[in-house]
Every structure is written in C-alpha cells, then in structure tokens.
Chain A
Amino acid sequence: MLDVLVIGGGVIGCSVARELSRWQLRVALCERGTDVCVGTTKANSAIVHAGHSAKPGSLMAKHNVRGNALYDQLCADLDVPFRRNGSLTLCFAEADRPKLDALYMDGITNGVPGMRIIERDEVLRMEPNINPEVVAALHTPTGGIVCPYELTVALAENAAMNGVEFHLEAAVEGLTSIAGGGWLVHTGKGDFRTRTVVNDAGLYADVINNMVSSKQLRITPRRGEYWLIDKAYDSAFTATLFQLPSAMGKGILVTPTVDGTVLLGPTAEDIDDKEDLGTTLSGLDQVLKVASLTWPSLPRRSMIANFAGLRAHLSSHDFVIGEAPDAPGFFNAAGIESPGLTAAPSIAEELCRRLVAALQPSARSDFQPKRPPVQRFREMTDAERAAAIARDPAFGRIVCRCEMVTEAEVRDAIRRPVGARTVDGVKRRTRAGMGRCQGGFCMPRVLALLSEELGISPLAVTKDSSASTILTSRLDGVKEQSK
C-alpha cells in the first residue's frame, strides 16, 4: 500500500512528490503522458512572478510571494537555470496611472519586496528598446525567469533519486474509497492502493475531483498563444515587460527567457477542448499587435516558433488547495493557473505539511536535496570541453548545431531517472531541436539515439504522445542492417 499517490506529473505534482520524498513515506506519481511536464506546465510564460498582480488575501497571492522566495534555493539545489531579471509593468497613458498605483498597493498588501514606481526616463534607461511613449512603470526586482520543463524534469529526477516511483502513461480512470480508509486508484497501468491521493491533474483536476467529491469543480481551458523570437535578440531586454493587466489576465508580455530567446504572449481565450493546443491566425496576430506596443521594433522576421498553452481556469479564479471536505485522504491542488509555476514550491510545502499531519511519518535522514549537475556542453569553457571529450568522446559529437547539444547529453537525458522516451522529451531536457532550425538537422539523429538507447525500432519512436509516431514505414526494398 502506498502512503501517497500523486496524480499528475506537471510542476505541481513533481514539486509535491519531491517535497514528500523528504519523509519516510511510500510515494508514487502517475502521469497520463509519456513524460513529465507535458500538460499545462510545458507551455506558459516561464515567469517567476513577484506577486503584485494576485488579488490580496487570495491563495494565489500567498503562494505566489512565498513560492517566489523559495526559488533561489530550489534552483540552486536542482541545477536549474533561474534569473531574477526583475519585471516592469508598463503604463502607456497618464490616465492609467491610478491602475499602476493600485497594483503597487496590492503588491504592498501581498508582501512583495522592493517595488518602485519609476518614471519614463528611468524606464528607458533600464530598457532602451521599450516604446518611448511609456509614461511610467512598476518595477519589481524580485520577478524572475525560469525554464518550466527543466525545473519539472529536475524535480522529478530528484524525487525519483529519493525513492518516488514514477508511472508514465498511467491515466487515472477511477477512484474507489477503501473501507477503513485509503483509496484504490484505477489507472491505465494497473490499480494502486494508497492511503492518500494528491490531485495535481492540471486541466483534468476537475475530472479527478468530481470522481470522489460532491463539491464539484469545473475547469475551463483558457488558451494562450505565444511567439518565440530567435536568440539573436538575447540582449533586447533584461526585464520581463508586462502591460497593465486586463480582465483576461496579465496581458501580453515580452520577456527574455533563460535560454536566450524572447517570448511574446499570451492571448487569453476560453475554449471547450482541453486538448486543443493549436495556435490561430487571429491569436498570433493579436500577440504581435499588442506586443508591438511594448516593443515597436519587434523583429517579425526572426520568429522561430509559435505555440499555445492551456491554463486550468476555475471561475472562482483562485487555487483550491487541501483535503476535499467529503473525501478523507483526497487532497486537491486544483485551478493552478498563473501564478502556478511561481507558487509550485509553496503549494508543495503546504500540501506536504497537511499530508505529514495526516500520515505522521518520520523525516528521512538520507534525503538528498541536490540533483547531480547536468553536463551542458554549451555552458562549458573550452578547457572543460576538452576534458569532457577526453572522458567521453560522445561529447565531441554535436547533435544539435543551433543549441550545441552533444550526443553524450542526449544519451544522458535518456538514461537519467525518469528519462526521456520521446523526441520532445530529449528536447525539453537538452534543448536539442529548440533552436532556429527547429530540429531540421538533429531530429533524425535524436530519433536514432532514442531507438538505440531504448532498444526499439525507429518506427516506434514518437514525437511526444504515444500515438505521435514520426516514421510510417520502412522504404520498400531496404534491407535491415545487422547490428
């Protein structure tokens, strides 16, 4: 019998699993996808918010500010790139100044440190590429940027190192309460008996909750479309640039990413289909139009990708965290939309505290908070590169030219705990295929390495989901090479 079954391998589920692995508990995580980080965590603004835009008194505000403060230690422990680049919320009209003041006051109430309202000249000194029509801005130095999939993969790897079991392609099909306490959870990969369940199912947290609780939830997928700009524009901005928020969210932002690209987006559109990750002509146009207000010279010819993410939106627009009132041992983290990525470490702390109170475990003396550093060729000095190739010649074979990823790193990404099983899994772990050629050169080589490492036919290698095969057949008349 498990002590805790975590449902969902996004940033919340993986944070909770890792937090629980500090305790003497038998913890498993089940994820319906072929990898962790394939739902709402994989496509968002990648921002560690300061916390001034959350409604004072809400759980969003509380976990945003606390989560933000936890990021430095977390990312240092897990060897995940994180940068406190600060954020600016831009005001483009004198008439809107009261909104800026209100945001500042909300930030004070929420406990956001170091904020200042700054005037046009100072804004333009900080960020010379901003539209000079800017009037003033709220500067929040604690705002940051992180890579959501690097973080989530690192959390999963560290949790696995500390004993958490991971079950992929294990979609939850039903839950039954066990007489005398606990749950029987039916999944695509078999049944799990567990004392408690944590529902971190993102867009499907309502479906899971509604299987056990009469306090029904309804999550609306709110689509956000993005553009990604080539890293040639790495130095365009330092800070994350918001415009004053609207009813549909924090508006369209322009932000550098930790990987050196520039991200524009998102739109906010409520849709019906929780699987519809398609971008649209009108959505992409809107992003460009609104982002141009912040960045009039944005380079439309230097786009490398567009994508959409879905936010798990509850009409109450706050997180639902804690034990369901009518389902003992069933804990929710539902409605986790922005600032969910920022809040993740704090939500995990909170849920862990409650589970520890319920399960009364002892702390583990051998918990290892640090993930072994990942070898990233592009970040090495030449001396380190020479040494790495001498140690393992596969460091001398560059698979992805654009992001300078070596064969050794691709193999490592597949071999690590909760390793990559798909082309996109390798991409999220190594950045192979993330660059300006978008996998044109490296995808066939990544596919071949997956086939070799996993011992499967190239025809069975998938892009992402289990049905997303890349090759359709062997060419007629081609003889198999004997190995």
Chain B
Amino acid sequence: MTALTTTCDVLVIGGGPAGMAAALAARESGCQDVLILEREAELGGILRQCIHTGFGLHIFEEELTGPEYAARYVERVKAAGIAYQCDAMVISLSAERVVTCVSPSHGLQRIKARAVVLAMGCRERTRGAIGIPGTRCAGIFSAGTAQRFVNLEGYMPGTRVVIVGSGDIGLIMARRMTFSGAKVEAVVELMPYSSGLTRNVVQCLQDFDIPLLLSYTVTSIRGKDRVEGVIVNKVDENLRPIPGTERAFTCDTLLLSVGLIPENELSRAAGLELDPMTTGPIVDESLQCSAPGIFACGNVLHVHDLVDHVSLEAEHAGRHAAAYAMAKRDVGDVNAATHHSSRIVVRDGQGIRGLVPQRVSAEALRQGPLRLTFRPDRVYRDATLLVEADGVVVNRRKKRIMIPGEMVELTVKPEFFVEKFPERELSVRVDA
C-alpha cells in the first residue's frame, strides 16, 4: 500500500495558539487551501491544560484562562472553515515541503505543500538533561506533566512537593498544587533570579508563603520506590554546589521547571539551519527558515512568555506563508542558495541572547520598523541597549530593567541607519 500524495497551499504543523493564528492569518490573506495538523485529540495545544488566568490581556484586553483563549481561536478556525485534523502527527518534513503524517482515521498521508508553517511548540527540559543525581524513583515529574495530570485528568501527582527551577509552569504549579491540598515545601532556583515572570513569583509564591531559594540546586534525590526527599545545596558563582550548605527536604514529589526547548525534530530532519542559542530555526523578517517556503512561529521558533505574543508572531508567519504559496510559483522553484545568504546577519552582542529574526533583508531595514526580540543574559538595571551596524553604534536606548524571564522587544527603525547602513551585520549589545 503506498500513500497518495495530495497537495495543499499552506500546511500548518501544530494546532496550538501559534498554528491556529497562523492558519487564520493565511486564510485572511486570501489563501483558501489551508490545513492544520494537530497531534493531540483536540485543537488548543498546551493552553488546554493552562486553566489559570492571565491570557489575552494584549489581544482581547481581558483576562482569560488558557482554555478560554484557545476556544476563541478554535471557534474562529471553525467559522472560517479551515481544514484541520486531530490525532494527526507529522513524522517527517523535507526541505521541499513534503510532509508525511499519520493518524488513526486518515492513515498515512503524504502532502506536498506550497508553504509550511512550523508551529510545534516546545517541550520541557528534563532531570536527565540537567543531570540531577540520585535515584530514579516514582514521583519525579516535569511541571507540565504534573499540570496535565491535575488539570486535564483530575489526578494529584503528590502531596508534599519540592519544585526545581522557577520557570513559569513551575510557579503556576506551586500555586495549583497548593490550591489542591498539597504542601509545596520550596521552589529551588539555580540562578540568583527567577526565570519566570515577576507577576508569577508574586501571585504564585509570595501570596502563599512558598519559599523561593535562589542560587540553590538539587544535589541528590532520595527514595527507592517513590521520592522520599531531596538534598539541596547553595551554588557558587560558577553554579557549582558548595559543600557544607546541604539542606534536606522531605517530600514525595519533585516537579521540574528547568527550561523549555523548541521542538525542532522535524526542522532538523528537514535540514533547516538552527540557532544554537534559541534552538529554533534561523528565520528572516518574514519568519521564513533557511529552506524557502517554510516558516516558523511560536515556541518552536523561540520560547515565549506570553501567548498573546505567540499569536501576533504567528499571524505574521501565516501572512507570509500565504503570500509565498499564492505567488504562483511552482513548488521548489526558489533557489535556496540565494535565499538567506544574501541577508544581513542579526547577531547577539554582549549580554544579549537569542535575537529573532537572525537574518534580515536590506529592504526590511529600509522600510522598517523591524521588531527584534531577545532575552538578556542576566538581570540588568538602568542599562543601555546599543544597536550597531557593522560594529558602528547607530542607536542607544535606556532600559530601566531587563530580566531573563521576560522577553525584550526592540523596534529597529529606518532612521537608525541614516549615517550608517549595515552591509553585513546588525547587532545589539548591552552597555551595563
């Protein structure tokens, strides 16, 4: 049995907030043949399990829960008649935009798309990845897995909890577990600052008197069958545990919120160029990847703090994907060699991590404005951001505070470049 190859104008991989917003924007740009492939049983992505509020303040100017925010997009997708399949997992993608997908109802499908939007989201960093020593007993969960058990399946994964890492999901889960009758003993953060949003530190920890131990790490997990406790140590400036600073916590559960990683297995297999800092694809101002006609948005491109920003970014990708698909080009006719290589490189300078987009055309800079995003490498107060064109400072901007837990936006305007226009490189650095 061989799968038939069908075609599609804009194929969106992932039906979470990014995928739905991209599909809607593609449709609104006039593209009729849009298809969303979602691997879960329903559209909505990770928002389905984020039952806390705080979503939609920018886009809807009201405070919604995750499922409410998702539902608004699901309704729009349905109203627009956009085709979607759930339980449909893409298992391969080629640079020529041939997608292979499997699902129980549609079997194995091969779809050749004029444009592809990557919207696969991200996954959580694991205990193994950060190398916490100790036993491999039950009771160790990523914060997102625990959130799924509590919010989607209605089960408690523990009664006495220590949370490692102060990422937003960990902070949200500290409050969620407390609401549900568990005792959260502490949140342990390796860095001297929280990696989550300030509002979450206040609303999820401080309001519940949950201690946040900064510059601490878990040095051992104890327990044979189920977690019995953890040992934490203070760390030095090189983030190495300091002997003699051990503190023991008795607990039956350890939740990890130690970072999110864009899920780029498909992108890597398609040969897309990835950015070692964001770990997402390298994109230009249209959010197009190194392979022509493939666009990326949302957490697969770089990890966001706010879903509203994901939606806005995804609309941008969806519009460009639609334009690409509708340009009446035969699939695969763009010369990849002249694609990203002619662009100006956007480079992280001192103190800056993960500038997106990483490539930009001269036209985009001339026409402007261009929105860049990044994270600072640590907390900065009253620092100046310097924009440089080929190493020459063209703009300075004061920033009162920048923290790694909150993505920073920087708008680059054509007037920056009156004296000096970048030929090769545009960079941003912090002058602390």
> Footprint of B on A, CB under 8 Å?
227-228, 232, 275-281, 283-284, 301, 303-307, 382-383, 385-387, 389-390, 393-398, 401-402, 404, 436-441, 443-444, 448, 458-459, 462-476, 478
Contact = CB atoms under 8 A, between A and B. Distances in A.
B110 interface: yes
B180 A468 contact: no
B6 to A, nearest CB: 14
Given A470-B157, A472-B158, A280 B133 contact: yes
A280 B127 contact: no
B221 A278 contact: yes
B131 A475 contact: no
B347 interface: no
Given A472-B252, A475-B150, A440 B142 contact: yes
B244 interface: no
Contacts of B1: 383, 386-387, 390
B124 interface: yes
A283 B134 CA distance: 11
Nearest to B152: A444
Nearest to B144: A440
B102 A472 contact: no
A440 B107 contact: no
Contacts of B127: 438
Contact of A467 (B100, B129, B156, B225): B225
A306 B155 contact: no
A368 B102 CA distance: 35
Interface residues of B, number: 58
Given A389-B108, A472-B252, 12 more contacts: A228-B128, A279-B134, A301-B129, A305-B126, A306-B131, A389-B102, A395-B102, A398-B91, A401-B263, A436-B129, A472-B155, A475-B180
Interface string B120-136: 00011011110101111
Interface in B116-170: 123-124, 126-129, 131, 133-139, 142, 144-145, 148-150, 153-159
Interface string B2-16: 110000000000000
A303 B2 contact: no
A468 B138 contact: yes
Nearest to A392: B104
B138 A463 contact: yes
A278 B219 contact: no
5 contacts: A278-B134, A304-B129, A385-B102, A389-B104, A469-B226
Contacts of B220: 278, 280-281
B87 interface: yes
Nearest to A386: B108
Contact of B138 (A227, A284, A382, A470): A470
Interface in B60-93: 87, 89, 91
A13 B268 CA distance: 43
Contacts of B126: 304-305, 436-438, 440
A175 B145 CA distance: 45
B159 A390 contact: no
B103 A397 contact: yes
B429 to A, nearest CB: 24
Contact of B129 (A275, A303, A478): A303
Contacts of B128: 228, 303-306, 438
Contacts of B112: none
B45 to A, nearest CB: 12
Nearest to A459: B155
A436 B123 CA distance: 10
Given A390-B1, A440-B142, A471 B107 contact: no
Given A382-B110, A390-B1, A284 B89 contact: no
Contacts of B89: 398, 401
Interface string B36-50: 000100000000000
> Which 8 A-B residue pairs are closest in the complex by CB-CB distance?
A305-B128, A478-B154, A393-B104, A467-B225, A463-B138, A468-B138, A396-B104, A386-B108
A441 B123 contact: yes
B243 to A, nearest CB: 10
B411 to A, nearest CB: 32
Nearest to A437: B123
B149 A401 contact: no
Contacts of B154: 474-475, 478
B107 A389 contact: yes
B353 interface: no
Contacts of B108: 382, 385-386, 389, 396
Contacts of A303: 128-129, 131
A443 B145 contact: yes
Contact of B123 (A382, A390, A440, A459): A440
Nearest to A480: B154
A437 to B, nearest CB: 5
B100 A382 contact: yes
B2 A383 contact: yes
Contact of B103 (A227, A277, A396): A396
Contacts of B139: 470
Q: Which of B131, B134, B135, B253 counts the most A-chain CB atoms under 10 A from its CB?
A: B131
